[in-house]
Amino acid sequence: MKLSVNINKIATLRNARGGNNPDVIKAATHCEMFGADGITVHPRPDERHIRYDDVRAIKKAINVEFNIEGNPLEQSFIDLVLEVKPTQVTLVPDSSQQITSNHGWDTQKHKVFLTEMVALFTAQGIRVSIFVDPHIGMIEHAKETATHRVELYTEMYAKQFITHPSNAISQYVLAAQRAYELGIELNAGHDLDLHNLTYFATHIPHLKEVSIGHALISDALYLGLENTIQLYKRCLQ
């Protein structure tokens, strides 16, 4: 089970002041050095955090898996992914002005489009993951796009976990089991943290990767980046 560190928030801090402090590329290489299995970025057209040039530079600087998230409705995003050729592209249906992702794809409604995108990226040797809510129907329709993976959107789990962990996880377990039956590999991400990650990881079968950014970078302010990455990796073990 791999930990991919989303470094968008490092770029947000840099951009707030201008200049190159903190150094996003240095942050990516240090995350790798401290034990991260992958680096995730989610560039947006306005480049309010990760910039397109950051993506190009990170690809050259790291040796671990590289995951680029974004909406393939943006031609600039498609062009960037085809140029950089990351290990994985995660297709996320967010609008350009969203603060953060807040829902998965309707894989039935957008099946034709997603199938085209999966074929486009797969032809370039890029693994494709589709961001979905934990609904069996959405996973079944995702299967028909020929995607390699789906990423379960975990905000609902994180919110319910505080009061009802067993209720929070139940729908995700069913979704994970269905993905496995269909031969789709499984990722997860959004609002996972040191409090809820172990429970999620131990209850979700066949989980390949979690992508964590906001909580991990926030914890690193208090605990240090190296220590924080190791704490998150322990949650996955």
Pairing between strand 185-189 and 149-153?
Answer: parallel
Please write the tens of the pLDDT for every residue from 76-105.
999 999 999 999 999 999 765 655 556 789
Distance from chain centroid for Cα 210: 7
Indicate the number of domains in the chain.
1
Q: Can you tell me the distance from the alpha carbon of 205 to that of 214, in angstroms, rounded to the nearest whole number? A: 24
Mean model confidence pLDDT for the chain: 95
Please write the tens of the pLDDT for every residue from 32-88.
999 999 999 999 988 999 999 999 999 999 999 999 999 999 999 999 999 999 999
Catalytic residues: 42, 69, 190
pLDDT of 218 higher than 60: yes
For 147, what's the count of Cα atoms within 13 Å in the CB-facing half-sphere?
33
pLDDT at 20: 96
Q: Which domain holds residue 170?
A: 2-236
Least-confidence region, from 89-103, 108-122, 221-235? 89-103
**What is the pTM for the complete model shown?**
0.95
For the domain that residue 28 is a member of, what is the CATH number? 3.20.20.70
Confidence tier at 164 by pLDDT (50, 70, 90): very high
